[in-house]
């Protein structure tokens, strides 16, 4: 898994999964790899596949990495370019405009078990609870 995981998670911190078709292709690759690794049929049950390997489903893993990046962005200095971009994204999200943060809220809400991320919870404690 160590050889394929970087390819499946590359760029997930900045390019969020807002289209199911895109992330489902990556999930298909992950599932096919795990099935071959375990020698299972291509129609084997996914629940067993993931529980036997202990692998976190890709959609959740990618969002977990993004939330870790959000936690990092919140601590950056006001003059740091990524920090400026984050604060700009917060302002855009508060005004209902499309941005990185609103994409993150959308991706979290469209998980199989929806997760709500509000602007009020954008604190270090709120992000720790989200992790």
SS3 state at 99: coil
Q: Is the pLDDT of residue 49 over 90?
A: no
pLDDT band at 61 (very low <50, low <70, confident <90, very high): very high
pLDDT in tens, 62-85: 999 999 999 999 999 989 999 999
Contact 33, 58 (CB under 8 A): no
Contact 131, 122 (CB under 8 A): no
CA 32 to chain centre: 20
First to last CA, the chain: 23
pLDDT in tens, 81-125: 999 999 999 999 999 999 999 999 999 999 989 988 887 778 777
Contact 93, 102 (CB under 8 A): yes
Closest CA to 16 of 97, 94, 84, 102: 102
């Amino acid at each position: 898994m160590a050889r394929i995981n970087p390819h499946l998670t590359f760029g997930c911190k900045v390019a969020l999964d807002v289209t199911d078709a895109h992330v489902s292709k990556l999930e298909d690759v992950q599932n096919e790899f795990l099935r071959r690794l375990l020698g299972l049929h291509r129609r084997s049950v996914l629940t067993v596949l993931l529980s036997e390997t202990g692998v976190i489903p890709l959609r959740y893993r990618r969002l977990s990495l993004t939330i870790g990046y959000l936690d990092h962005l919140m601590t950056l200095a006001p003059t740091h370019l990524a920090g400026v971009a984050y604060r700009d994204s917060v302002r855009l999200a508060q005004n209902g405009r499309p941005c990185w943060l609103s994409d993150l809220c959308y991706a979290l809400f469209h998980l199989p078990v929806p997760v709500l991320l509000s602007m009020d919870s954008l604190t270090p404690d709120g992000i720790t609870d989200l992790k």
